[in-house]
Chain A
Amino acid sequence: DIQMTQSPSSLSASVGDRVTITCRASQGITHYLAWYQQKAGKVPKLLIYAASALRSGVPSRFSGSESGTDFTLTISSLQPEDVATYYCQSYNSPPHTFGPGTKVEIK
């Protein structure tokens, strides 16, 4: 089975900072990688699919990229409403494993 790791596990940044979260797959998953945002007490929300496609309605400050088995979620200018835990998920073949999550806070 594919294992997903994420780094860092948590981060604290200032409003307006550029934030980068990395997800690594234990084997190739091509572009079948999604990013989800979960705010405290809320349901996870899909942000990015196919590694770099921004879901309709998601602010353009969010972006995704891939390089081999490494995937990156970038928030270009952190906003207070971006405080949340972010999860990556591979979905090319089952099991559709989630990463352990990255908690983003405002400094």
Chain B
Amino acid sequence: QVQLVESGGGLVKAGESLRLSCAASGFTFSDYYMTWIRQAPGKGLEWLSFISTTGSITHYADSVQGRFTISRDNAKNSLFLQMNSLRADDTAVYYCARFYGGVGSDTWGRGTLVTVSS
């Protein structure tokens, strides 16, 4: 079945970096845009970034522009989020999701928790 599994979360200090991964299975990964979304504790959903099928097109939310980088490896069915200069307000559960232009984010992973201590 279609599945997304995030990994790479953990506890880091402010200013440090972290790289999240998302392993996709059950569908042709290279056919889909992919996106990262996060949710701070007790808060709503925040869209962060998306990447096109080939990786040639990326977009970011203002809150992470210049600090986070989305990328993908279609040969390994994997999506990544490189997070630099982390701040306390980046603390959240980070979800990867499959994005289809006519539908939105139809499949989500279970998320990985990132905690940034100040």
Contact = CB atoms under 8 A, between A and B. Distances in A.
Given A44-B45, A101-B44, A91 B59 contact: no
B104 A89 contact: yes
B102 A98 contact: no
B47 A95 contact: yes
| Most chain A CB neighbours (cut-off 10 Å) among B46, B101, B104, B105 | B104
| Most chain B CB neighbours (cut-off 10 Å) among A38, A44, A95, A99 | A95
B71 to A, nearest CB: 17
Interface in A46-90: 46, 49-50, 55, 85, 87, 89
B18 to A, nearest CB: 21
A46 B47 contact: no
Interface residues of A, number: 24
Closest 4 CB pairs of A and B: A34-B104, A94-B59, A98-B45, A49-B103
Interface residues of B, number: 23
A96 B50 contact: yes
B70 to A, nearest CB: 12
Contact of A87 (B35, B45, B50, B61): B45
| Most chain A CB neighbours (cut-off 10 Å) among B35, B62, B108 | B108
Contacts of A101: 44-45
A1 B106 CA distance: 23
25 contacts: A34-B105, A43-B95, A43-B108, A43-B109, A44-B108, A45-B108, A46-B103, A46-B105, A49-B102, A49-B106, A50-B103, A87-B44, A89-B104, A91-B99, A91-B101, A91-B104, A94-B50, A94-B59, A95-B60, A96-B99, A97-B47, A98-B45, A98-B46, A100-B44, A101-B44
Nearest to A87: B45
Interface string A18-56: 000000000000001010101000011110011000010
A37 B30 CA distance: 27
